[in-house]
Amino acid sequence: MVAAHLVGTGSAFPAPLDQDDLWHGYFHRHFGRSRAAHRIFRTAGVRRRHGVVSPLTEDVAGWSTERRMRRYAEEAEPLGRRAVSEALAAADLDPADVGLLAVASCTGYGTPGLDIRLASGLDMGADVQRLLVGHMGCYAALPGLRAAADFVATHRRPAVLLCVELTTLHLQPPTSDVQQIVAHALFGDAAAAVVLSPEPLRRPGAPPSLRMLDLVARTDSDSAGDMTWEVTDHGFRMRLSPRVPDVLARHLGPALDELLTPHGLTPAGVAGWAVHPGGPKILDTVRRECDLPPQALRPSREVLAERGNCSSPTVLLVLERLRSGGALADGGHVVALAFGPGLTLYAALLRAG
């Protein structure tokens, strides 16, 4: 069977937002000068993030969902185009080479959709197939990656996966709800794209290609209410229960056993970890349950500190950092982990070289 190789990555970000500036310039008033809210912002593991809107200059908390969706349509396409163009250039491919464009997003909707507008704007051709993955949340990149890999293996043509999220458009009205405070302390905006090809990239000096080997999923329906993303009259509102790390801890071991054992691996034999940094407690849980050394999750913590939690693009940003860091030798295995509503865990296994 033809393999699918990750041969190019690209990312794009709107303007940077300093975490301290956000707190002192806006959120300390928004949350009624709450000491608990200040503590959450200080311990979120975020130094800066990015946003298509900044509450320091444009307060969208009272905007209608309609107005937010109009802004999403304006901002998402150019951001996505930059990420896809960068990924294609890294893979030495032209837009016309692409057989499938898959787009994942849970922060905006419209028809014709972002997939249609991007395919047209990038001159991908009228015959390009498209897949739109909506409202799956932070883990959407991994099922999207699997769909793109299956297309490559079946049709022997390259595929592009783009994840783009504009979470800053969903700033909620003032509240004392701790779960809302946590969400506003963590989330930022980004676009991330990957290119999968039936052949590995052989350009000298390029980062190693990553061959897609396997993917598993776990959904704990009994905990479905612990993480939700609800459409309201004032944008989309997140529910993020403090029980989430404990639920993930119950499923992480069995999921990794299912992923690694058929390939003769254990967590100790994995060369690189691309873990979605849903927050510091999520990363601490993964490290504890997998018995990983502190440096194993350094790329995830660096992305959290520099970009925040960007929902679906985040695990791809970690994978990009891991792949370009120079530490992956040929044959080294990589595990990508992401978590989201459902409560859902996805895990993918890739091999370098």
* DSSP symbols for 10-28: EEE--EEEEHHHHIIIIIH
What angle (nearest 5°) sits at the alpha carbon of residue 117, between those of residues 116 and 123? Answer: 90
* Whether residues 94 and 58 fall in one domain: yes
65 in the Ramachandran plot: left (φ > 0), alpha (ψ -120 to 50) or beta? alpha
Gap between the Cα atoms of 275 and 301, Å rounded: 9
pLDDT at 202: 81
pLDDT at 205: 83
Domain span at 87: 5-197
* Whether residues 228 and 183 fall in one domain: no
Query: Is the distance from CB of 142 to CB of 348 less than 8 angstroms?
Result: yes
Both structure tokens of 181: 């405070």
Domain boundary among 197, 227, 251: 197
* Whether residues 173 and 80 fall in one domain: yes
Q: Which residues are known to be catalytic? A: 138
* Whether residues 188 and 260 fall in one domain: no
* Whether residues 58 and 186 fall in one domain: yes
* Whether residues 16 and 93 fall in one domain: yes
205 within a domain of the structure (yes/no): no
Nearest to 81 by CA among 145, 160, 139: 160
How far lies 255's CA from each of 219, 296, 344, in Å? Answer: 10, 19, 11
Say whether pTM exceeds 0.85: yes
pLDDT at 267: 97
* Number of structural domains the chain divides into: 2
pLDDT at 1: 55
| CATH number of the domain to which 279 belongs | 3.40.47.10
Which segments in the chain show pLDDT lower than 50? none
Q: How many CA atoms lie within 13 A of 19 on its CB side?
A: 25
* Whether residues 190 and 214 fall in one domain: no
Gap between the Cα atoms of 247 and 220, Å rounded: 8
* Whether residues 102 and 171 fall in one domain: yes
* Whether residues 183 and 217 fall in one domain: no
